[in-house]
Amino acid sequence: MPRESREAWKVYKNVFDEFTIRQLFKLMTQGVIEGLESPVKIGKEANVFTATRKDGSKAIVKIYRLHTCNFNKMYDYIKQDPRFANLKKKRREVIFAWVQREHRNLVKARAAGVRVPSVLASLHNIIVLEFIGDDTVSMQAKDDMPDDITKFYKETVAAMRKLHKAGIVHGDLSEFNILNYRGSPVFIDFSQSTMQDSPNYSELLERDVKNICRFFRKCGVKAQDDVVLNRILK
């Protein structure tokens, strides 16, 4: 094992369980990443890191925590998704399905023309994503208000409409899950996204609209829930 890998192993062993460490090293062996760099977000459900790649670029690595994830809550969401109708309520199976769901949702959103991070790889409880940003990762809209807020608002609603036309809803959209990249929105965190034939689709869409309108009204935009919803559904 190269010296760099031995040093990484020591660091990872203090942070992750043995299973997750093995998956990280598989991704390194496959050339997806060279190693983790620095934390972006540490949460109860998942840890998010920047990572280095062989070509000198960066990536984002989201690692779901196997032992502290609320898999019961995950299961309550995912069981309504027709794509996972046969999923058994077992911790690891639910978490792995959750990651695959995010992977598939991001691919579908990107195909619909919505600006989202591209998926570089996914493996069990880990998903590797395109790095959104220049020298540093782009900030959430809540912490980095765009100069042209009206343009940002219109682009956000247009992206929501594209998702709906593609038969998918984000399901957890807010200023926390939209990055401001060069003055335009990039949607992230698609693990709760579901398809139009899911029984809770309309509820999630209305919640997304409510959250988005609330945020933009705080920013001075005249965003009305019913107008935005009608625009998306039109």
The residues annotated with a catalytic role in the active site are 172, 189
Sign of the torsion formed by the C-alpha atoms of 77, 106, 134 and 154:
negative
Q: Do 208 and 170 form a contact (C-beta atoms < 8 A)? A: yes
* Exposed / middle / buried, residue 221 (Cβ in 10 Å: 0-12, 13-18, 19+): middle
C-alpha 126/C-alpha 160 separation (Å) is 26
DSSP string, the chain: --HHHHHHHHHHHTTS-HHHHHHHHHHHHTTS-SEEEEEEEE-SSEEEEEEE-TTS-EEEEEEE-TTTS-HHHHHHHHTTSGGGTT----HHHHHHHHHHHHHHHHHHHHHTT---PPEEEEETTEEEEE--BSSSBPPBTTTS--S-HHHHHHHHHHHHHHHHHTTEE-SS-STTSEEEETTEEEE---TT-EETTSTTHHHHHHHHHHHHHHHHHHTT----HHHHHHHHH-
